[in-house]
Structures are given as structure tokens and as C-alpha cells.
Amino acid sequence: MNNLENKLKQIQSLVIDCLSEVSSDKPKAFVANKTKQTKTDTATEDKIMKVVNKVKNCNETEKIEKQILDKRAMEGKIILPFYICNKYFPTYTLSTGDIEKITAELSVRIKASNVRKAIRESLYKFLDTNQRRKSGILTPYKLNRKGFKHFESLLES
């Protein structure tokens, strides 16, 4: 998906350049719609791709596929990115939107609204945050010790 977006942006850039060569006026409609990708966007994408790649290439990959990704339960799929971050990237925090993107990359997409609902209803005890949950504001979560042990028990079952 990101590859397609990059190619479309390249095409859009070429169209703008061609139109500016043909006419003396810059095409205002295209220039107004051109969006810049900020540093935080690329940092978030890098973080997401690092987590996805680590899921696919860690020591527990076979167990994760068999016990978590191949099953219908949402709980393990939601905790999985937090587990990977806790184990391999301890400074990372994840929001519900990050979890949606990671699960989509792993081909088991869970929408952010469903992630929020699952956290609110049953998974909050496995996560820590240094911020109060508020509507409309991203809340960064990390897995706590209880959540780490719970996920390991899911892998062993």
C-alpha cells in the first residue's frame, strides 16, 4: 500500500512539473492538494515496520503464527505488538492506531475502534500508560509485567 502511495505521489509531482512547463501559471489545484510527509509520520511508519519485521523474524515466529495469528481471538493479536515492543524495542509506545496498522501489515487487521474497545473492556490491566485516557487524544501504551506473562502463557497454550 505504501509503495502504491509513493508511486502516485511521484506521478502527481511529474504532472505538476509538466503543467508548470506548459503554462506560465502554476496549477493551483494540484499545488493546494500536495501534502508533505512530516518527520513524525515517517518515524511512526518506521516504528510500525520495525515491529512487523520483528514479528516475522523473531525466535518465536512459528509459535506466534500458530498460537496467535492463526486463531480467531483478538486478545493475543492486540497484545502481540506490545509484547514485541516490550521485548525488542523497550522505548516504543503504541497507540490504538499503531496496533491497527501493525495488524493490517500482518494480514489480521483489527480496527482501531475494536482495539480501543478491547483495551477498555478487558486488556487495560495488561497495559501501562503515563497519560490519562481522553476522547480524541492518542494514548501511548506499553505492556506491563502482568501482560508480558499473560502473553507468554498464550504462546504456550
Express each pLDDT in 130-157 by its tens digit: 888 777 778 899 999 999 999 999 999 8
DSSP state of 137: S
SS3 (DSSP) at 108: coil
- Angle at the Cα of 107 (from 49 to 54), degrees rounded to 5? 35
Q: What is the pLDDT of residue 38?
A: 62
Instruction: Find out whether 69 and 39 touch, Cβ atoms under 8 Å.
Output: no
Radius of gyration of the chain (CA): 20
| pLDDT value at 23 more than 70 | no
Listed by start position, the domains of the chain span 1-35, 39-156
Band (24; pLDDT cuts 50, 70, 90): low
Decide: pTM greater than 0.75.
no
Per CATH, the number for 39-156 is 1.10.10
DSSP string, 33-86: H--PPPHHHHHHHHHHHHHHHHHHTSTTHHHHIIIIITSS-HHHHHHHHHHHHH
Band (22; pLDDT cuts 50, 70, 90): low
Mean pLDDT, rounded, of the chain: 85
